[in-house]
Copies of this chain bind each other. A is one copy, B any other.
């Protein structure tokens, strides 16, 4: 398949506009009684209208059978091969809490854990302490002073936190202190390159000081660090596709992902309707619109079938705002499936529709898993979405003479 470098050579700037609506965790599984999925159950006249006018298929987010995390699934839809464009665990957690990362920062994912008197790990999650307790402990660790660097310790959820170093000459090439098992001592942090020796020393200093501070905080009496990483430098969508992209998103993680590929992230309101209104407000000044709906995934993870149905209907009701703007290309899909039956992300391919003046419509007249399976796009990799969108917006020139 064509790669970003080759796409860059044939992409051209033009006034046409592309909208990509990602309904998080859109795909589902049939309800045991009705035999219909969440999407098949929802009343979606506007999605059906777009499906009828457009082409449909089922997107494979990463690779068949593979359940994606949100980060690689989104990157793939934006055209970035998730096997090549990887994001370190520390950075991913920092994006997830909207930490204002700078380019040279080194971030690590942290766990509060329980050790015994001999320093041996007994519980890697410190009994999953409450998020409130995590916040208190992070404030204590935030008082730690380490020469030459600035330090942040920010709570995530339960036993999870993010540690960020900022300062001169840092390197993320460090091994984890987290041994990933109980019954052993945490690892001393080791530099994986000569340049990382100083950072390793600083990280070990942090751990020593943290251990002292947490001595009386059983069960959270120690920390484990892993996934030291730095903000990756991805080519921007403006660079590769010559687009001026804007992200309409409400959750921190997705804001971070959008920034990673060079999207402008704007104030998006709270409700789904407000998100579509925000898109309307930026329509004149941009030519690529990523609108993200989170609530479907949340309902899916909660196992709330009817809640997910309602969110899909809410998206459908807000769609006319977008349709009325008449962008040259409208796409609707999900980053992955989150069937309420599984209460989790899953590997199932995701319904996809693309509507444009030049898309050569197929016979699909309804937006659903079953109908999309019969669409002319068939089952296809997420990485094909952006080239298809650019082609339909007439933003690609010929390959070869």
A64 to chain B, nearest CB (A): 4
The yes or no answer to A378 lying at the interface (CB within 8 A) is yes
A391 to chain B, nearest CB (A): 4
A60 to chain B, nearest CB (A): 9
Beta-carbon contacts under 8 Å, A73-121 to B: 73, 82-83, 86-87, 89, 92-93
* Interface contact A388-B64, CB-CB below 8 Å: yes
Beta-carbon contacts under 8 Å, A23-74 to B: 29-30, 37, 58, 62-73
* Interface contact A65-B384, CB-CB below 8 Å: yes
* Interface contact A399-B358, CB-CB below 8 Å: no
Among the stretches A190-198, A300-308, A315-323, A340-348, the one at the interface with B is: A340-348
Give chain A's interface residue range (CB within 8 Å of chain B). Answer: 35 or more
Among the stretches A163-171, A200-208, A276-284, A360-368, the one at the interface with B is: A360-368
A353 CB contacts on chain B under 8 angstroms: none
A259 to chain B, nearest CB (A): 17
Question: Smallest CB-CB separation from A349: which chain B residue?
Answer: B376
* Interface contact B92-A345, CB-CB below 8 Å: no
Question: Smallest CB-CB separation from A62: which chain B residue?
Answer: B399
A57 to chain B, nearest CB (A): 9
A68 contacts which of B65, B339, B400 (Cβ < 8 Å)?
B400
Q: Is the interface of A mostly helix, strand, loop or mixed?
A: loop
A31 to chain B, nearest CB (A): 12
* Interface contact A2-B396, CB-CB below 8 Å: no
* Interface contact A387-B69, CB-CB below 8 Å: no
- Distance between Cα atoms of A384 and B60 in the complex (Å): 12
The yes or no answer to A397 lying at the interface (CB within 8 A) is yes
A388 contacts which of B65, B89, B341, B390 (Cβ < 8 Å)?
B65
Beta-carbon contacts under 8 Å, A354-391 to B: 358, 360-363, 369-370, 373-374, 376-380, 384, 386-391
A70 CB contacts on chain B under 8 angstroms: 401
The yes or no answer to A212 lying at the interface (CB within 8 A) is no
* Interface contact A360-B347, CB-CB below 8 Å: no
* Interface contact A347-B64, CB-CB below 8 Å: no
Closest 5 CB pairs of A and B: A65-B387, A69-B400, A72-B400, A373-B376, A65-B391
Would you mind naming 7 contact pairs between A and B with Cβ atoms under 8 Å apart?
A64-B387, A67-B398, A69-B401, A82-B399, A86-B400, A339-B358, A345-B398
